[in-house]
């Protein structure tokens, strides 16, 4: 079938000069935040140049060209991001392009460059700060890159960069495979892998980026290359944990793993609300348990406080009899007033079905429901407003840090949660510089999330917590829980920052591809 390249001209909008200078490493404004300039010249000429170039390129031979303006329904839909706080009006891209092959992506890149425009790729649209939109630039939306080839002899798969996890999980699960991706099905395979990728199998199999065998990448000048350990090894290293800053990945080759026979899920809830003292006791017990030292059969171990509840859980790859032994070693599950909310052994298919629906507490979805595409569609459309960030302490928390986190949490528990997930296991089984994912030695990561309905309140709570605890634990953060920071290279890449900056310079010397933008400030008052 002829590939389709559609070009959607969203608007002849303002040229947000400051947005274009929001790249990593560019000094911030005096407020310490990125700012957009409000008015500039319309970019009609650039839009026309882009349109002309794409029409002439017709990379797939028979591609059609459609143009959509700002008030067009399709243009509006394409502006929607997973975080509903980011309404797009002031981070308005000039155009959207929806390529269907690597050759199409290459043409879109070359034409953007020729028109003097910056560009970003978009996959699942889940970036917390809408980094898959670029003010005044071109969004290369990969939704039509949906190739999937599974090689069951080699236990590997090649997957188009437009896939989202739900569709992928449903296919792999039926074949008895597991991919160590995120616990949320709407997340895109590309965004997740580029940032590392943690979720339901991280301790057992490592971060998702560790499973990548090769990738096809369109470089900033439009050249298409294969990246693996021998060809473009630096680029290959960077795209596994270093973000989407060095090229546009059009397909990924992953190692696949056989799914375990069963998963034993142990989830305890505490009867009391998440008070300061109670949360400090649970987080302290989690620390004392040192779940990052457990065998990797404990695929996930976490405690979570928020929305008026407090719970601890782990997922064990094996029978419940073995899970119970592991649980017996944990001080968390011995704390008073807790009760087993879930204590159950699942087949792999049932387990995944539960994770996919996010209805795991209430509903026991069986195998038969696994491929319900309407359910996936509903979940893919889900949006909510939030501000979130992460804490990645490089050593276990001391009691002062636990107290600070507990104090902040309790102030906000009706509209916020903090989820702490142990790392270790397979995450630390490879060398620290195996790929660009920088924080392997961290014992765990905490996601801090607030959705009060008031963006200022959410931001102030998240930033306040981070500022209070950073002096005790350092400023490391996890790229996939991206939020506004003053020194993103350091915060997100730490020991790998210098190498990644050099790779960025070599592969994108003009700084045309994406960036790490802080965009929420620009829409907060709308």
Ligand X SMILES: Cc1cc2nc3c(=O)[nH]c(=O)nc-3n(C[C@H](O)[C@H](O)[C@H](O)COP(=O)(O)OP(=O)(O)OC[C@H]3O[C@@H](n4cnc5c(N)ncnc54)[C@H](O)[C@@H]3O)c2cc1C
Q: Which of residues 48-87 bind ligand X (CB under 6 A)?
A: 82
Q: Which of residues 468-507 bind ligand X (CB under 6 A)?
A: 480
- By rule CB under 6 A, what count of residues binds ligand X? 32
Quick check: 376 binds ligand X (CB under 6 A)?
no
Q: How far is the CB of 150 from ligand X (least distance, A)?
A: 20
In this structure, are residues 189 and 168 in contact, taking their beta carbons and an 8 Å threshold?
yes
CB closer to ligand X, 219 vs 249: 249
Q: Which two tokens stand for residue 156?
A: 């590997």
Quick check: 206 binds ligand X (CB under 6 A)?
no
Between CA 108 and CA 114 the distance in angstroms is 10
Of 160, 188, 222, 488, the one binding ligand X by CB under 6 A: 188
CB closer to ligand X, 198 vs 227: 198
Between CA 171 and CA 349 the distance in angstroms is 11
Angle at 265 (CA atoms; ends 260, 271), nearest 5 degrees: 170
Quick check: 112 binds ligand X (CB under 6 A)?
no
Which residue's Cβ lies closest to ligand X? Answer: 191
In this structure, are residues 82 and 186 in contact, taking their beta carbons and an 8 Å threshold?
yes
Quick check: 354 binds ligand X (CB under 6 A)?
no
Quick check: 438 binds ligand X (CB under 6 A)?
no
Which residues, 6+ apart, have CB-to-CB distance to 342 below 8 Å?
Answer: 265, 266, 267, 313, 360, 361
Distances (CA, A) of 291 to 40, 194, 374: 53, 26, 37
Quick check: 125 binds ligand X (CB under 6 A)?
yes
In what helix (H) or strand (E) does residue 290 lie, and over which residues does it extend?
none
Only one of the segments 84-92, 107-115, 116-124, 458-466 lies at the binding site for ligand X (rule: CB under 6 A); that segment is 116-124
Quick check: 518 binds ligand X (CB under 6 A)?
no
Q: How far is the CB of 378 from ligand X (least distance, A)?
A: 14
DSSP string covering 220-235: TTS-EEEESSSSSHHH
Quick check: 428 binds ligand X (CB under 6 A)?
no
Quick check: 137 binds ligand X (CB under 6 A)?
no
Instruction: Print the SS3 string covering 25-74.
Output: CCCCCCCCCCCCCCCCCCCHHHHHHHHHHHHHHCCCCCCCCCCCCCCCHH
The sheet carrying 298-306 orders its strands as 338-347, 262-270, 309-317, 298-306, 416-422, 444-450, 387-391
Quick check: 142 binds ligand X (CB under 6 A)?
yes
CB closer to ligand X, 191 vs 424: 191
Question: In the stretch 262-291, what mask flags binding to ligand X with x, by CB under 6 A?
Answer: ------------------------------
Quick check: 170 binds ligand X (CB under 6 A)?
no
CB closer to ligand X, 211 vs 338: 211
Q: Which two tokens stand for residue 342?
A: 């879930």
Of 53, 78, 108, 248, the one binding ligand X by CB under 6 A: 248
Point out which residues bind ligand X (CB under 6 A).
Answer: 82, 120-128, 131-132, 142, 161, 182-184, 187-188, 190-192, 194-195, 197-199, 244, 248-249, 480, 514
């Amino acid at each position: 079938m002829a590939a389709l390249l559609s070009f959607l001209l969203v608007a002849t909008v303002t040229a947000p000069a400051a947005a274009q200078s929001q790249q990593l490493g560019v000094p911030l404004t005096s407020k310490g935040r990125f700012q957009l300039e409000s008015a500039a010249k319309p970019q009609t000429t650039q839009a026309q140049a882009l349109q002309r170039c794409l029409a002439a390129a017709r990379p797939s031979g028979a591609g059609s060209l459609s143009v959509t303006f700002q008030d067009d329904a399709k243009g509006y839909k394409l502006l929607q991001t997973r975080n509903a706080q980011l309404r797009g009006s002031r981070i308005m891209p000039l155009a959207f392009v929806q390529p269907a092959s690597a050759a199409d992506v290459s043409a879109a890149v070359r034409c953007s460059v020729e028109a003097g425009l910056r560009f970003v790729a978009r996959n699942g649209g889940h970036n917390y700060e809408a980094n898959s939109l670029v003010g005044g630039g071109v969004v290369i939306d990969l939704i039509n890159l949906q190739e999937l080839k599974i090689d069951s002899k080699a236990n590997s798969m090649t997957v188009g960069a437009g896939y989202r996890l739900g569709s992928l999980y449903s296919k792999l699960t039926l074949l008895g495979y597991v991919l160590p991706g995120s616990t949320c099905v709407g997340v895109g395979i590309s965004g997740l892998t580029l940032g590392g990728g943690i979720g339901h199998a991280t301790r057992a199999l490592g971060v998702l980026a560790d499973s990548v065998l090769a990738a096809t990448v369109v470089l900033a000048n439009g050249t298409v290359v294969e990246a693996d350990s021998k060809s473009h090894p630096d680029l290959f290293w960077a795209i596994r944990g270093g973000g989407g800053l060095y090229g546009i990945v059009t397909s990924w080759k992953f190692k696949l793993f056989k799914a375990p026979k069963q998963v034993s899920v142990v989830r305890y809830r505490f009867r009391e609300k998440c008070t300061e003292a109670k949360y400090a006791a649970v987080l302290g017990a989690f620390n004392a348990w040192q779940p990052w030292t457990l065998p990797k059969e404990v695929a996930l171990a976490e405690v979570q406080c928020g929305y008026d509840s407090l719970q601890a859980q782990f997922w064990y790859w094996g029978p419940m009899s073995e899970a119970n032994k592991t649980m017996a070693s944990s001080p968390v599950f011995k704390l008073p007033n807790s009760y087993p909310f879930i204590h159950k052994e699942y087949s792999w298919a049932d387990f995944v079905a539960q994770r996919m629906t996010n209805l795991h507490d209430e509903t026991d979805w069986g195998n038969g429901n696994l491929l319900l595409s309407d359910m996936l569609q509903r979940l893919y459309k889900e949006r909510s407003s939030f501000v979130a960030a992460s804490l990645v302490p490089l050593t276990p928390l001391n009691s002062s840090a636990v107290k600070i986190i507990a104090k902040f949490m309790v102030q906000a528990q009706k509209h916020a949660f903090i989820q702490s997930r142990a790392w270790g296991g397979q995450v630390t089984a490879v060398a620290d510089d195996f790929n660009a994912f920088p924080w392997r030695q961290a014992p765990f990561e905490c996601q801090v999330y607030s959705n009060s309905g008031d963006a200022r309140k959410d931001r102030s709570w998240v930033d306040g917590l981070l500022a209070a605890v950073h002096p005790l634990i350092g400023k490391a953060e996890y790229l996939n829980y991206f939020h506004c920071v003053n020194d993103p290279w350091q915060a997100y890449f730490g020991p790998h920052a210098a190498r990644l900056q050099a790779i960025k310079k070599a592969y994108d010397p003009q700084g045309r591809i994406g960036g790490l933008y802080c965009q929420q400030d620009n829409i907060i008052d709308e």
